[in-house]
Structures are given as structure tokens and as C-alpha cells.
Chains A and B, each alone.
Chain A
Amino acid sequence: MLLLMKNKRMFIDKFFRYVFLGFIGVALLILAVLLYDVFSAGIKMLDWDFLTRFDSRFPEKAGIKAGLFGTLYIIALMIPITFIVGISTALYLEEYAPKNMLTNFIRLNIANLAGVPSIIYGMLGLGILVRTLALGRSVLAGSLTLSLLVLPVIIVSAQEAIKSVPASLRNASYAMGANHWQTESKVVIPTALPSIITGFILAISRAIGETAPLIMMGALTFVMFTPEHIMDSFTVMPIQIFNWTSLPKKEFELVAAAGSSVLLTVLFILNGLATFIRYHYSSKY
């Protein structure tokens, strides 16, 4: 009887282990199929020329240079904007703001904003940035639109990271005679930074793949130049890919696959970099 019960317990224990393993297997399999599908089709078109050529009406002459540069410019502008604004906001809300109804209201609404569909941000970008502020369909307007899109996610994840810093560390710092800012800058932020960076990079990655808000705000689809200035117009990789898939010529499917491969590679590089930074940073202690 005892043995039977033991067997049953062990069975249940193993059962869940394999169920979870099964689910992760399914997720990995789907990812593998997807990546294989994209890269195996993409490889046929993918060469150095593809990266250095502009778009073309002819599939064999089409390249992704405009989108690649557009995306890189957008990221380069977005990273400082969202990092500074996002972390400052999270720090203020968690560490400085008085604990009252207004603070709670703001906090709640930032969490809500994180769930607003991206196309709404595109409309906001078009209405406020492109038209009212007359930024035009520029790199600046595009990166600000995407910044608005990802800021709520960055703020919420940074808030969580800051909240997870133990109170005992803050107390230790105050007890040494540190003031509020010293405690934040020397103890709270360094301790929370690895998690902050993780959330930050995930949010930026999401923005890189966004198409809808940029189309909505009027980024171009067919571009034969790279932006030189933050007020120049631009396109990004996902828009180019989207554009290629909608063209009638069958060969553009391969071009789109090649574009997707480049987009994914940029994402992998960024995520890898983030993992490296995070690992390097946290292993210092």
C-alpha cells in the first residue's frame, strides 16, 4: 500500500515535469520551424549586395539598405530617449512620489498604456508629432512615436526591478549617512540595473519589429536614400518587408524572406549584446 502511494506520488511528480518539458518543446519547435522557413528562403537572396542596395521594382535588384539604416537610426535615437525618460519616471514613481491617490492613478494608467494597441500610438504620432508639432514624417517623429509606444512597458518593468531591491540595502545606506540621491544612485540603481536592462531590451526589440504605428504616421514604403539628418524621411525594415509581401511578383517572397532574415539577425545581435552587458554587469559583484 505504502509502495503504491509512493509510486503514485512519483508518477505525478514526473508527469508534471514532462508536461512542462512538452510545452517548452512545442514552443522551441515552432520557433525552429519559423526560423528555418525564413532563413532557408532568405538565404537565396541574401548577400552583401542585398544589404548595400536600395529597393527596386525588380526583385533581383531589391535591397534593404534604406530599411536597415532607417531602423538603426530609429533605434539609436530611441535608446537614449526611452532609457532616460523611462528610468527617471520609474524612479520618481517608486522612490520619490508621495504615496497618494494621484500617484496611484498615474501608476495604474501607465500600466494601462502598456496595453494600448500600437496603431493607436501611430495615430498619436501622426496627429501630435507629424502635424501639430510639424516634425513631418521624419526619423525624429518615427523614433518619438516608437518611444511613446515602448515607454509604458519600460517604466513598468523598471518599477518592478526597483521594487525588488531589498529595503535592508536602503536602510544600510541611510544608516551610513547617505542622502536620498546617494542611496538611489549608488545602491538602488546599480542593484536593479540588470533587471532594468532586461526589460528595456525586450521593449526595444518589440519596437524594432513594429510596422503599424510607423505606417500610420506615414513612414515611406519605397525609399531610395538613407536618412542623413533626424528630420529626413525614412523607412524601416518591417515596412519594407510588409511592402515586398504585398507585391504581385512571386520572387518578392524570397526578397521578403531575406529582409526578415536581416531583421531577425539585428534582433539577435541586440539581444545578445544585452545579455552580455547584463551578465558582465551582474557578475562583477
Chain B
Amino acid sequence: MAEINKIEVKDLDFYYDEFQALQDINLEIKENKVTALIGPSGCGKSTFLRTLNRMNDLIEGNRVEGKVIFDGEDIYNKDTDVVELRKKVGMVFQQPNPFPKSIFDNVAYGPRIHGIKKKGELNEIVERSLKGAALWDDVKDRLHESGLSISGGQQQRLCIARALAVKPEVLLMDEPASALDPVATAKIEELIDILKQDYTIVIVTHSMQQAARVSDNTAFFLMGVLVEFDKTERIFENPSDQRTEDYITGRFG
């Protein structure tokens, strides 16, 4: 199967006020693949992730140069509809952050704000999304209980279901398992493996084992620079840059 570029990042610079957080990033996110972003804290991997759905817009004093081409269009073009972009590029955060609403209302939040009101349609979306996030069997009998009443791992899967409910094409995950125990982490990783059949996934992770387990391609960031980007096995077995090798063998970071 030929690999299609879902997102192409070209010469991307990102600034917080005077501070340049990303320098001249170039990479391609392949469709229906998992791309892992690794690197030490403060290397810019989360910042980079947030440039892909323009979540950085919310931070005052941010500035972007270069292009992020999603389905052939530059998302930093001034005509870009950010609402449409974020519908297509969903996001899951580091800490599970369900709304203080029922499980049903959490998942139905996205479809509702995008104008779906019919009960039957919402029921269908909620069921499909919860099944997609492997949570349906756990919660099907208590959809009207609080989204905060379930365990941390279930909450994170609820957040994934919530993101799936608006039918995104790309799913951005910012260290989705870092707040979870090993069992819940394993479930999230299994889920990522299933989700990549239908979605393009970009995941930031602190854990190199996780990157090695779940991803097809890996990008290694260091101090705002993309040091190396390649097939995951190549990055972990035969990196071409000394700094990558030092990092993955645990010499720093």
C-alpha cells in the first residue's frame, strides 16, 4: 500500500513571544500510521503536536512561520476555518479531562456543538464512539452517570471516545498514558493499534518503549529541532544521528 502524506509540515518555526520553541521543522505524517514524537522535556514535541490543530492559537504571544499542509491546504492560511480543522484533527490530552457531565453528554458534546440534535442520531454516535474507544462494554449500563465516576484509564478512553464522536481523520495524543497505571496504559496502546486502521495518529510520549511498541514512524526532537525522523525500527535499531542514539540508549534525557 502506497503511503499517503496526511499532513506535511514545511519549514515550521514557532515562537512564544521572543522564545523560539520550534526551528525549521520538516516532516510528513503518513495516513493510517502512528507517528510518535519523542524527546526530553521542553524539546518542543508537545508544542509541535499543538501546531497541528492550532491549539497554540489559544496562547497569547504565539507566532507561526512556515506551512502545515493538511489534505493539500495550509492550515495557517488566513482563510482556514479552525472549527473545521479541529473537527478533522481531534486531540486527547495528557490528563484525562472529561467534562463534569454524564458519560453520554461527554461523548455527545462534539456532535451537539456541531449541530446534531436528534436523539436517535446522538445515541448511535455515542454507542459507535464508545465502542471505538473500547469502553462500551464497561459503561453501557451507566451512560447517565458522571464521566468523573469511572477509573482514570476509563476516563482517558472516554476522552478518546469524545474525540472520535466528531469523526476526525487525525488523532493527536499528548502523552495519553502518562497519568495511567501499566494495565490502563496497555489498554490504551492496544486501542491505538486498532484505531490506526481508521485514523492517522500522532502521539507524544515520554516512554521510548511506548514509542517503539505503538508507532510506525518516530520523530526525535531536541531543543526545538527535529533531529531525526524515520521508520520507528530504524530510529531504535540504527539511528543515523549520534544524539538520537544517545537519547534512546538513555545517555541523557
Using a CB–CB distance below 8 Å, which chain A residues touch chain B?
Answer: 99, 166, 168-169, 171-179, 182, 186-187, 190-191, 285
Contact = CB atoms under 8 A, between A and B. Distances in A.
Contact of A176 (B58, B60, B98, B110): B110
Given A166-B97, A285-B101, A175 B113 contact: no
Contacts of B84: 177
A173 B55 contact: no
Given A172-B93, A175-B91, A176-B90, A191 B100 contact: yes
Nearest to B112: A186
A176 B100 contact: no
B113 A176 contact: yes
A176 B162 contact: yes
Contacts, number: 69
Contacts of B113: 176-178, 182, 186
A173 B166 CA distance: 12
A218 to B, nearest CB: 47
Interface string B206-218: 0000000000000
Given A175-B163, A177-B84, A177-B86, A285 B55 contact: no
Interface string B79-101: 00011111100110101011111
A183 to B, nearest CB: 9
A187 B99 CA distance: 7
Given A171-B58, A285-B102, A176 B166 contact: yes
B161 to A, nearest CB: 12
Nearest to A175: B91
Nearest to A194: B100
A165 to B, nearest CB: 9
A171 B97 contact: yes
B109 interface: yes
A187 B93 CA distance: 17
A278 to B, nearest CB: 14
Contact of A168 (B82, B86, B93, B109): B93
A177 B162 CA distance: 12
A177 B114 contact: yes
A179 B114 CA distance: 10
Contacts of B95: 168
B159 A172 contact: yes
Nearest to A282: B100
A172 B86 contact: no
Given A186-B113, A187-B99, A172 B58 contact: no
Given A171-B93, A285-B146, A176 B109 contact: yes
B114 to A, nearest CB: 7
A203 B113 CA distance: 34
A186 B99 CA distance: 10
Given A175-B55, A176-B162, A177-B110, A169 B83 contact: no
Contacts of B98: 172
Contact of B86 (A174, A187, A191): A174
Given A176-B90, A177-B82, A285-B102, 14 more contacts: A168-B93, A169-B97, A172-B93, A173-B99, A174-B55, A174-B86, A175-B90, A175-B163, A176-B86, A176-B163, A176-B166, A186-B112, A190-B100, A191-B100
